[in-house]
């Protein structure tokens, strides 16, 4: 069988980000121009006051991005909820719940327990619920309805909107935009000819920009230049993904970090950019013999897991390694004989952490 077959959407996203098919994306230029017109008209309606964002009675923090594909929003949402809690707020996370098999507004987790599985609640909301015990997590295509439910049901005093940058119906007190250090805007074109959901001028709405995959501030130069041009004065923080723990999926036993050094492994992931996951593992000291990518939010079948185990044996790998986000979608499957390791990651600031803290302190100071 063919491993890691991504959807047409995922293949197109990769072509956008890496500019693998410039001729093909240029053919979509007329459609992109039409899309630009729609986006521009929507922006004008909001900026002129014809359309209005509705304000909730508590602070709202949005974590989003300008592009399709992975930029590290989920770890940033975790950090945002933790920052609000540390400042005395009782936050809830409201997410669309991409890939879930339910519709409407649902409570994934309340203040005491997780109420929905990954299939019904979505893989990322389930992961957020698991990593943020006591924080309500609500999924809703209509973020206003989801936020109202969280406030009325749980009495929360802050809302974190997951992937909320383009969601203008809710007024935000802190707009955080995530971007990758490597080719942050891909080929620089708007959908469908490129990965941009909005023109770079939309950065003017941001209060803080956070760059992932940046070991130093110099790694974020492309993002910094765009911010200086379109949102002068907006602070830019840089981060990297840091592995916090690794465990064996079969028994949920922790694996000492010292054991990972030099271990020959085959990695797989259904995330926006699996290659970045491979680089994170390599920086940890693992001998990564390959990275097999699946479509974002991919739901694994038993035969795929078996094929991954077979491929690992062929390559002489001692274990399969995947992300925590992927692991939550493997819970219903039998773990193969080949060891399966799961890693948890967090965002670690390499610069700009003071700006992050100041932004949250300002939000929490609002009456």
Answer whether residue 205 is part of any domain.
yes
The answer to the question of residue 34 being in a domain is no
As a whole number of angstroms, the distance between CA 293 and CA 5 comes to 8
Q: Are residues 102 and 169 both part of a single domain?
A: yes
211 and 323 co-located in one domain: no
Residues 318 and 339 in one domain: yes
Whether 16 shows a pLDDT value over 80: the answer reads: no
Output the average pLDDT for the chain: 93
Summarised one tens digit per residue, pLDDT across range 261-307 is: 999 999 999 988 888 899 999 999 999 999 999 988 899 999 999 99
Residues 306 and 356 in one domain: no
Condensed to tens digits (0 to 9), the pLDDT of residues 150-180 reads: 999 999 999 999 999 999 999 999 999 999 9
101-130 CB burial, b ≥16 within 10 A, e <16: eeeebbbbbbeeebebbbbbbbbbbbbbbb
| Residues in Cβ contact with 83 at an 8 Å cutoff, skipping those fewer than 6 apart | 356, 357, 360
Residue range(s) defining the domain that contains residue 308: 243-347
CATH code for the domain in which residue 320 is found? 3.40.50
Q: Do 342 and 355 fall within a single domain?
A: no
Q: Are residues 248 and 224 in the same domain?
A: no
How does pLDDT run across 29-75, given as a tens digit for each residue? 888 889 999 999 999 999 999 999 999 999 999 999 999 877 889 99
């Amino acid at each position: 069988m063919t491993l890691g077959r991504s959807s047409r959407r995922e293949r197109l996203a990769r072509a956008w980000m890496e500019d693998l098919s410039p001729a093909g994306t240029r053919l979509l230029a007329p459609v992109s121009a039409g899309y630009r017109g729609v986006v521009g008209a929507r922006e004008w309606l909001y900026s002129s006051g014809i359309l209005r964002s509705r304000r909730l009675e508590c602070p709202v923090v949005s974590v989003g991005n300008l592009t399709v594909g992975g930029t590290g929003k989920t770890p940033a949402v975790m950090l945002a909820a933790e920052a609000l809690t540390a400042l005395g707020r009782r936050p809830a996370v409201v997410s669309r719940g991409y890939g879930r098999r339910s519709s409407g507004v649902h409570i994934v987790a309340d203040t005491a327990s997780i109420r929905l599985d990954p299939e019904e609640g979505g893989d990322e909301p389930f992961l957020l619920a698991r990593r943020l015990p006591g924080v309500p997590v609500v999924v809703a295509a209509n973020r206003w309805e989801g936020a109202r439910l969280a406030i009325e049901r749980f009495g929360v005093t802050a809302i974190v909107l997951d992937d909320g940058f383009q969601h203008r119906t809710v007024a935000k007190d802190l707009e955080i935009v995530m971007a990758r250090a490597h080719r942050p805007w891909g080929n620089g074109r708007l959908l469908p000819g490129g990965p941009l959901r909005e023109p770079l001028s939309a950065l003017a709405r941001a209060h803080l920009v956070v760059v992932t995959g940046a070991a130093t501030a110099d790694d974020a130069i492309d993002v910094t230049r765009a911010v200086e041009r379109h949102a002068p004065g907006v602070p830019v923080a840089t981060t990297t993904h840091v592995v916090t723990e690794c465990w064996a999926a079969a028994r949920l036993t922790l694996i000492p970090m010292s054991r990972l050094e030099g271990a020959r492994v085959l990695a797989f992931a259904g995330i926006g950019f699996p290659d970045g996951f491979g680089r994170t593992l390599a920086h940890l000291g693992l001998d990564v013999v390959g990275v097999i990518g699946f479509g974002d939010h991919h739901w694994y079948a038993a035969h795929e897991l078996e094929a991954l185990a077979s491929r690992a044996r062929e390559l002489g790998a001692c274990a399969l390694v995947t992300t925590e986000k992927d692991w939550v979608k493997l819970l219903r499957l039998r773990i193969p004989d080949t060891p399966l390791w799961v890693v948890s990651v967090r965002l670690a600031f390499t610069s700009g952490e003071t700006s992050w803290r100041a932004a949250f302190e300002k939000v929490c100071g609002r009456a």
